[in-house]
Each structure stands twice: as structure tokens, then as C-alpha cells.
Amino acid sequence: MTPSLNQKRSQQSQHIDARRRHHILAFVSYITSAVMFIYGFKNLHAELWLLPLILFITGSCFLVNVLVYQATKKLQRACTIEALLVGAFVLSLVYQGGHNNTALYWVFPFPAILFGLLGVRHALISNAFLVLTLAVMLFTPDLILAEYKDAETSRFLASLIIVIIVCWINDHYRERSHEAMELLQQSKELQANTDALTGLVNRRFLDSSLLPALAQQSDEFFPLAVIMCDIDHFKRLNDQFGHDVGDEVLKSVAHLFQQNLRQQDIACRTGGEEFLLILPHTSAIDARKVAEKIRLQFPQQRWVTNDTNYPVTASFGVAECNQTEQFYEAVKLADQQLYQAKHQGRNQVCG
């Protein structure tokens, strides 16, 4: 499987996670700010002016942050700023006490919000810092305006820690579950797209994975060269030594390809003894050199254990394409060149 196709799957997973964080960011920004404005107006005539000030400033900052995100599309930055705003709001609200000293009741939703915005690791660190700061504030009454009972503060902190632990367990195993499902899906796709004998990709891979990648990431592939390869007189080898020996030869040929191709190149088993080599950013001239290099190594190998001198050779056909629509035309042309090589005596490269 090529790095670019693995990268595509990774990008799809990241896109789904980004959508999740996007919705959490939007909810916190719009809904929470609306609630803050409502309670801010309700407390405008209260004796304590600090509460509506905290609510109006935080709500406004939430809105500014989400609007800047909508303009710049920088999700990570927006989520980090949102998390900082959440932390500042929680600390300032607990410091002030809220309406009728109810600030502690409003803290409980925010640990879950931090997990949604930051991910498990960063949210756990942020929540731990938040709990530690709150503990210092609550057990040092001179540091804050609000007055909380000792029993109230201890039970609040214990409950908050429980909420954080539950959020951590939930998000931790949610991430592990998603990773496991992604690995399972990749495993299923790999099995479906892989030839069981040689470990190379099969013909199904071309339609299900390669062609979509060519269309979506053309700059990473074109110009692209294709090489068709066919083992000469393979039926004769099978008839003389048996299919088990033939299978071992096929596996050895696959290994030979892997030794001589670059990481971004693709070796595909398309039939019994036929192989297709796909070389991104390669001209037909350079592909012919690659095919010739591989061809010259065939006589040097000891393919058959029972008869180390038994000759195994291969014929090659080469073609080039510059856009996705030409891919199968190039494969057909390379196949024609392969048959030309066989017609001219085998053990050669045409194209």
C-alpha cells in the first residue's frame, strides 16, 4: 500500500474528528454565549456588578473566537483559545460566586467540553490544572470574594474529580474504539486488495484504491509509467516441477520486485504469472531502464530448489500516461508491448 493512500485514510479520519470538534466549538460558542448574555442581563441590577461583567466579557470572547475561526478555518487555534476561555470563565465565576453563590453548580459541564475541544491527553492535563487551581482557591478563602462552606467545597471537588475521571474513561476508550475500528477496516481492505500468495496488491486494488487516488492526488503520481511483466514458459515450469514450486517462484518474483522498486512504486499481481508495476513520476524511458534492470537479475537467481540451474526469465512491456483517464489505456499498451516482447523471443523489454 503506497504512503499516499495510507495518508488519504488518515486524512479521512482526521476530517471526521475535525467535524466533531467543529460542532463542539460552535455549540459552546453560540449556545453558551447566549446563556451567558441572558443571565448577564438578568443580573444587571444585582448588587454585585462583577457577575454580569464576567458573563458579558466571556460570552463576547466566545463569539469573537468562533467568528475568527469561521473566517480563518484554523480549528486547532480556535479550540485552544476556547479552552482557555472556558478555564478563565470557571475560575472567575468561582472567584465571584455567581448568583446566590451557585457558581459551583455551573462548573460541572466544562470538563466534558475540554475533552471535546482538546482531545484526551491535553484535556486531562487541563482539567487537572483546573482542579488544582480551584482547590487552592476554595481552601484559601482569602483569595476569593465568594464564601463557600467547607463541606460544600470538599464535596464539589470530589464530584468534579469523579466527572473528570468518567469523561476521561469515556473519551479514552472512544478513541481506542475508533482506532481499533479503523485498523479493522484497514485490515479488511488490505485483505481484499492483497494477493494472498505473493503479498502484492491485486487487480481489485486498482479500481478501489489506486484510481481514486490518481484522480484526487494527481500531482503525486503523474507522469506515471506502467510495466507489464510475464514469467516466460511458466506453464512448463508448473508441469515439470508442480504447482508448489511454481508458487515459490511467484513469491520470489514478488520479492525481486520489492527489492528493486522505490517505496512509492506499486507492484501488482494481475493474473497467474502476470504482474503490473506502477511507477509514479517516471517516464517511459526511465521505466524501461527499471524493467531492464529487473530482467537482468532473473538469470542470476536460483528459482527452483530441485534444479538450481533451471532458467527462469521474464518479458516486459512499458508504457506511460499523464492523466487518470489514460491509465487503463497505458496498461493495455504495456500489455501489447509485452506480447511484442514474447513474439520477438521473450526475455526482453519492449516499449
Alpha-carbon gap, residue 202 to 321, rounded angstroms:
20
- Residue 12 identity: Q
DSSP at 132: H
Distance CA 97, CA 289 (A): 77
Cα–Cα distance for residue pair 20/325, rounded to 1 Å: 35
Cell numbers given for 145: 470574594
286 by DSSP, 3-state: which?
helix
- CA angle (152 as vertex; 149, 49 as ends), nearest 5: 65
CA distance 321 to 331: 9
Active site residues: 273
Residues 6+ apart with CB under 8 A from 216: 8
Q: Which strand ranges, in their side-by-side order, compose the sheet holding 201-202?
A: 201-202, 266-269, 274-280, 224-231, 314-321, 349-350
